[in-house]
Amino acid sequence: MTTAYEWRGELANDELNILHAEGFEHRVLDDDWCTQLREHSLGWVTARDDGRLVGFVNVIWDGAVHAFVLDTLVPSSHQHNGIATKLVRIAADESRAAGCEWLHVDFEDHLRAFYFDACGFTPTNAGLIALR
Ligand SMILES: CC(C)(COP(=O)(O)OP(=O)(O)OC[C@H]1O[C@@H](n2cnc3c(N)ncnc32)[C@H](O)[C@@H]1OP(=O)(O)O)[C@@H](O)C(=O)NCCC(=O)NCCS
């Protein structure tokens, strides 16, 4: 099956809520992704197989030169086929085309091979404060 990738592709809230719930192991929420993405993102990348959403990454930004990758997601049924690597490559290309100079990400230890080796991010110091 050919996977179709799209920058700022059409999305329904339900399909992304289901993908997010599977990826981050929580119950299916009722988030309004469409509004959130339209109002706060530089863009996002979708991957579809025969219409089914099989990959997503969100790219937020500072309105200038910094873009940030969030919520890279591929369902377990489609993992280890290079889909997420391609999603991130498109996110990087489109961020560059939009004038960004840096693409950031942070992640848990077990994803080092994915972000560093497969996607080509270089290690840096980053920080996080839990606000709730
Ligand atoms: C992380 C995730 C997006 C990867 O999607 P994917 O399409 O399977 O990734 P790719 O096929 O492009 O992976 C390329 C390589 O990265 C590494 N990799 C991918 N997923 C990995 C994981 N979960 N743990 C460790 N290494 C991983 C592997 O080396 C892989 O090569 P291989 O398939 O030959 O083993 C997917 O596992 C996922 O949705 N996980 C749950 C949600 C999540 O944690 N997202 C990241 C938020 S920061």
Q: Which residue has the tokens 């089914």?
A: 52
H/E stretch holding 102: strand 102-104
CATH of 3-118, one of 3.40.630.30, 3.90.1570.10, 3.40.50.880, 1.10.1740.10: 3.40.630.30
Is there an atom of ligand 1 within 6 Å of 107 CB? yes
Sheet holding 102-104, edge to edge: 3-7, 41-49, 52-61, 66-73, 102-104
pLDDT in tens, 3-58: 999 999 999 999 999 999 999 999 999 999 999 999 999 999 999 999 999 999 99
Q: Between helices 33-40 and 13-24, what is the axis angle to 10°?
A: 90
Is there an atom of ligand 1 within 6 Å of 111 CB? yes
63 three-class SS: coil
pLDDT in tens, 62-98: 999 999 999 999 999 999 999 999 999 999 999 999 9
* Closest residue by CA, ligand 1 atom 34: 80
pTM: 0.97
Is there an atom of ligand 1 within 6 Å of 113 CB? yes
Is there an atom of ligand 1 within 6 Å of 9 CB? no
Residue 115's pLDDT is what?
A: 98
Distance in angstroms (rounded) separating the CA atoms of residues 17 and 6: 19
Is there an atom of ligand 1 within 6 Å of 21 CB? no
- Residue 70 CA to ligand 1 center (angstroms) comes to 14
Domain ranges of the chain: 3-118
CA distances from 18 to 31, 88, 124 (A): 10, 20, 32
Report the nearest atom of ligand 1 relative to the CA of 57.
3
Residue 84's pLDDT is what?
A: 98
Q: Report, in angstroms and rounded to the nearest whole number, the Rg of the chain calculated over CA atoms.
A: 14
Distance in angstroms (rounded) separating the CA atoms of residues 115 and 78: 18
